[in-house]
Chains A and B, each alone.
Chain A
């Protein structure tokens, strides 16, 4: 049916895409692990970050990779502020309310982008987007290799932050037992906001790594967020290694089912995995307790 070369190439491409999915899912799983909420605005935030990268390029000619240095801190601060001053106070500590507020934020961001930029699809044209690396019989896109390497670096940085720094220790303490953390003098509201900011910062990096090969429009978040939910659920909600493994698996599944079932039905594999994992093993591959 298909030659092994085509299948292996599809798997490698799937892994490269999967690394970016993992990066998108990283922020989602971190926020879930600490705040125990699903951030429905995650996709819309990614779209906003992609527009920011695109805008920096269109207005000042800044290369998407250099844009990381600007958009990452900006999105960290934005995320911190939104959690500290909007989600936190408005939710009154109720998880159901947080879910609905992030849904509201996602509608707001998406439609603000629509109002500001229109529904046109935009991309950043550059020679690098089309450059390829020859590896044996395979042709691999340079930009996607950079993207995969970038997301692995971010994952390692996150892991170092969580395991080696005082902030990481505080985040883990709050995730485990927020009342106890509060009693030993950790400012829970501050840690929540830091976590949310980190999630948004990860999205900003993902947006910068995506833009050389991808396009952006106000609805682009939806395409990623369903995948990110699946990755997070598959890897186990709250687990960072789970998000990495989940991302790579989903990338491969998508690439292979796209190859076998065609473009339009290819997405089905992802939804079926999503539903099956939720129904049969809601803790995912690496998750502890649901």
Chain B
């Protein structure tokens, strides 16, 4: 038997995995790959911000560390892509540990934590823009050389399946955490840190575990980005755009819920595409829609789309039972 919460994960993954059988449009796969990369980055945010309640405004730092670690290892040192991937994920976890240790030990919460994460991401952006190691303002190009060993695939559906596999793993890990004692501690820290501490939860350790896992996941998303687009610069890697994407998707889909980031990322970018097709080439129009959706969701459905569905389902079933 499969454990609690895994069935929806498997179903959603299967549906996406089967799309190449019925759809052959390249723009669809481009869209889906980008959405999956964002969903993976957002799952990292969700672990820390959604389940753990520590709102980060700077998840770009993990995304960028992942992307740059993978590309620097491959371009400068000729390291194999898959080994680079492992190193990048480890670098993301380590970065999470360091930033977490510094800021959580200093007792930063709420707005202060959001600000310090933003500052770290911006600091890294300025450094990456100036350093020779990262290619400076020109960025880094990965050599085009498709093949499994290089983690490059000329077929878009194949790359989509790879990205989907990553997202699936992240979903399973998150569900495992939610079902575990650690997950319960994390929720306790979110709901009332002082009460959790009084009950004997080691708050600092719980937060550190969460931010390292979070950093590792978002770093993996950065690696996928660079393997797909074969290019990275400081604005993409450490830019505010990915920090916002990583935060918006879980907020819209349902913060703290396992499938929230994936649902949110698809909804937002689906809406973005629809808006673009209506409004034509007005710059920034899709982001305006995202912003309005964010405000509306906070105002009227603070637990996102999944929360709304759950609420409706509860109402329906209680009516049926009565």
- A residues sitting closer than 8 Å to B (CB atoms) are 32, 37-38, 40, 86, 89-92, 94-97, 99-101, 103-105, 107-108, 110-112, 114-115, 118-119, 218, 222, 226, 229, 233, 264-265, 267-268, 271-272, 274-275, 278-280, 282, 290
Stretch from B15-23, B152-160, B295-303, B313-321 forming part of the interface with A: B295-303
Residues of A within 8 A of B244 (CB): 103, 107
Check A264–B111 contact: CB distance below 8 A: no
Check: B119 CB closer than 8 A to any chain A CB: yes
Check: B240 CB closer than 8 A to any chain A CB: yes
Rounded to whole angstroms, the CA-CA distance of A119 and B283 in the bound complex is 9
B-side binding surface: helix, strand, loop or mixed?
helix
Q: Which of B115, B122, B294 contacts A38 (CB 8 A)?
A: B115
Check: B77 CB closer than 8 A to any chain A CB: no
Check A278–B108 contact: CB distance below 8 A: yes
Rounded to whole angstroms, the CA-CA distance of A226 and B122 in the bound complex is 9
Check B111–A37 contact: CB distance below 8 A: yes
Rounded to whole angstroms, the CA-CA distance of A13 and B179 in the bound complex is 58
Rounded to whole angstroms, the CA-CA distance of A265 and B108 in the bound complex is 27
Rounded to whole angstroms, the CA-CA distance of A92 and B283 in the bound complex is 32
B59–chain A nearest beta-carbon distance, Å: 13
Rounded to whole angstroms, the CA-CA distance of A92 and B295 in the bound complex is 12
* Residue of B110, B118, B283, B284 most packed against chain A (CB within 10 A): B284
Check A100–B298 contact: CB distance below 8 A: yes
B173–chain A nearest beta-carbon distance, Å: 25
Q: Given A96-B55, A233-B115, A278-B112, is A111 in contact with B285 using a C-beta cutoff of 8 Å?
A: yes
Rounded to whole angstroms, the CA-CA distance of A103 and B57 in the bound complex is 9
A36–chain B nearest beta-carbon distance, Å: 8
Residues of B within 8 A of A272 (CB): 123
Residues of B within 8 A of A264 (CB): 126, 129-130
Rounded to whole angstroms, the CA-CA distance of A108 and B116 in the bound complex is 23
Check B111–A99 contact: CB distance below 8 A: yes
Residue of B nearest to A107 (CB): B291
Rounded to whole angstroms, the CA-CA distance of A110 and B286 in the bound complex is 12
Rounded to whole angstroms, the CA-CA distance of A280 and B116 in the bound complex is 12
Residue of A nearest to B288 (CB): A111
A160–chain B nearest beta-carbon distance, Å: 29
Check: B102 CB closer than 8 A to any chain A CB: yes
Check A280–B298 contact: CB distance below 8 A: no
B97–chain A nearest beta-carbon distance, Å: 15
Residue of A nearest to B115 (CB): A229
Check: B150 CB closer than 8 A to any chain A CB: no
Rounded to whole angstroms, the CA-CA distance of A265 and B126 in the bound complex is 7
Residues of B within 8 A of A107 (CB): 244, 287-288, 290-291, 294
Residue of A nearest to B103 (CB): A279
Rounded to whole angstroms, the CA-CA distance of A233 and B55 in the bound complex is 18
Check: B292 CB closer than 8 A to any chain A CB: yes
Residues of A within 8 A of B118 (CB): 226, 229
Q: Given A90-B295, A92-B302, is A278 in contact with B106 using a C-beta cutoff of 8 Å?
A: yes
Check: B282 CB closer than 8 A to any chain A CB: yes
The A-B contact count (CB < 8 A) is 123
Residues of A within 8 A of B108 (CB): 278-279, 282
Q: A37-B111, A114-B283, A282-B108 are in contact. List 20 more A-B contacts (CB 8 A).
A: A92-B299, A95-B110, A95-B111, A96-B53, A99-B110, A99-B111, A101-B294, A101-B295, A107-B291, A111-B288, A111-B291, A115-B284, A218-B284, A222-B240, A226-B122, A229-B119, A278-B116, A279-B106, A279-B116, A282-B106
Rounded to whole angstroms, the CA-CA distance of A91 and B285 in the bound complex is 24
Rounded to whole angstroms, the CA-CA distance of A19 and B121 in the bound complex is 27
Check B285–A115 contact: CB distance below 8 A: yes
Rounded to whole angstroms, the CA-CA distance of A117 and B121 in the bound complex is 28
Check: B221 CB closer than 8 A to any chain A CB: no
A276–chain B nearest beta-carbon distance, Å: 10
A244–chain B nearest beta-carbon distance, Å: 20
Check: B87 CB closer than 8 A to any chain A CB: no
Check: B182 CB closer than 8 A to any chain A CB: no
Q: Given A101-B298, A278-B103, A278-B106, is A38 in contact with B111 using a C-beta cutoff of 8 Å?
A: yes
Check: B177 CB closer than 8 A to any chain A CB: no
Rounded to whole angstroms, the CA-CA distance of A218 and B288 in the bound complex is 13
Check: B251 CB closer than 8 A to any chain A CB: yes
Check A271–B103 contact: CB distance below 8 A: no
**19 A-B contacts, Cβ less than 8 Å apart?**
A37-B111, A38-B115, A90-B299, A91-B298, A96-B55, A100-B55, A100-B298, A103-B244, A104-B291, A104-B298, A111-B287, A111-B291, A114-B283, A115-B288, A218-B284, A272-B123, A274-B115, A278-B116, A279-B102
Check A112–B284 contact: CB distance below 8 A: yes
Check: B127 CB closer than 8 A to any chain A CB: yes
Residue of B nearest to A94 (CB): B302
Residues of A within 8 A of B285 (CB): 111, 115
Check B283–A118 contact: CB distance below 8 A: yes
B65–chain A nearest beta-carbon distance, Å: 16
Check A115–B282 contact: CB distance below 8 A: yes
- Nearest 9 interchain pairs by C-beta: A111-B284, A90-B299, A108-B291, A114-B284, A107-B291, A104-B294, A271-B123, A38-B111, A104-B291
Residues of A within 8 A of B112 (CB): 278, 282, 290
**Interface code B23-64, partner A: CB below 8 Å = 1, 0 otherwise?**
000000000000000000000000000000101010000000
